[in-house]
Amino acid sequence: MSEEKHQRSRSGSPHEKSRLATLLALQDMAAKQEQPQPPLWSGPVDCTGMPPKEQAHWNWWKPTLIRADQYLREEVAADLAPILSPGLRGNPDHPSVKAIFEELLEARRLVYNASTTVLFAFDNMGGLDRFKPVWAIIFYTRSAFSITHPEASANAINEMVGEYLSFGIPRGEAEGYGSTRDHVRRASAAYLEWLRRTVNAITGARDGQRKLVDTVFWAWSDHMAMLREVDRQARANPRYKGLRGTALAEAIDEYPGVLTVLQRLRDRRTNAA
């Protein structure tokens, strides 16, 4: 492999006809067009009376917001438990507890919202110190493959993910551009290291770190699963026959639009729930 191709492979710039290129382009398009991400730790939002588009946006985030809210409430309850009588523990709505519980909850929301925006900023991940969006795409794709292939070894999973992300590269052009199992392993490790450093900088509490990481995984896994589904549906659509990589993503965005497809998937999920 030439040094130029090796550097290209390491930089996260895939072959323009690869599936990885499609996913990176879809991610970039969605991030630039999507409505702003809501403050993660602010709790669920009442969508009553909102315009349909705004309501759909909030409904998309609802499961993640509920999950994050539950974590914060558990943390506050754990903080209060040592100073409450047994009859009041786990009862945040009790008149003797509610006021202080809500004050601590609001304080925790402010701290977490100020600290964790960086972990969910789909539109500016590339601007973070030593972070590459391709790491997240590869890591969460690998995570999905691990769930669907529980008996496979780590090397086998990496091999499958590499082949999946390299799909579309013409024969003879893969050298230096395809995603090998080593690329998958290194990208996944790089993402976990970045996540570890970032979470450590936000909270030193082990339980808080666990909950924060769990919420990160929840949000990003869901987001990446949607992008993979957009890619899957497009490849089965005769309209896009012969298109690969970045060209496929551009065609999707031209018609019907990346956000339109994502919204259809979100609506389908909401209606099925």
Q: How far apart are the first and last CA of the chain?
A: 49
| Residues 148 and 219 reside in one and the same domain | yes
d(CA 221, CA 230): 14
How many distinct structural domains can be found in the chain? 2
Mean pLDDT of the chain: 83
| Residues 131 and 193 reside in one and the same domain | yes
pLDDT 10s digits, 55-102: 877 877 887 888 889 888 988 998 898 988 888 887 888 888 999 999
Q: Is 71 exposed, middle or buried (0-12, 13-18, 19+ CB in 10 A)?
A: buried
d(CA 138, CA 227): 12
d(CA 65, CA 42): 7
pLDDT 10s digits, 181-236: 999 999 999 999 888 877 776 666 566 677 778 777 887 888 899 999 999 999 99
Other CB atoms within 10 Å distance of the CB of residue 66? 12
Q: What is the pTM of this model?
A: 0.78
Predicted local confidence at residue 7, as pLDDT: 36
| The domain boundary residue, chosen from 91, 117, 143 | 117
Predicted local confidence at residue 30, as pLDDT: 86
Q: Is 187:139 a contact under the CB 8 Å cutoff?
A: yes
| Residues 215 and 245 reside in one and the same domain | yes
| Residues 173 and 201 reside in one and the same domain | yes
pLDDT higher than 60, residue 269: yes
Predicted local confidence at residue 13, as pLDDT: 79
| Residues 20 and 51 reside in one and the same domain | no
Predicted local confidence at residue 60, as pLDDT: 74
108 in any annotated domain: yes
| Residues 145 and 215 reside in one and the same domain | yes
d(CA 59, CA 45): 9
| Residues 63 and 30 reside in one and the same domain | no
| CA R_g for the chain | 21
Q: Which residue has the higher pLDDT, 47 or 237?
A: 237
| Residues 206 and 165 reside in one and the same domain | yes
Q: What is the DSSP letter of 248?
A: H
Q: Is 165:14 a contact under the CB 8 Å cutoff?
A: yes
| Residues 68 and 184 reside in one and the same domain | no
Output the CA–CA distances (angstroms, integers) from residue 142 to 117, 139, 169, 189, in the order listed: 24, 5, 20, 11
Contacts of 119 (CB under 8 A, 6+ apart): 195, 198, 199, 202, 212, 216
| Residues 217 and 92 reside in one and the same domain | no
Q: Which domain holds residue 65?
A: 37-117
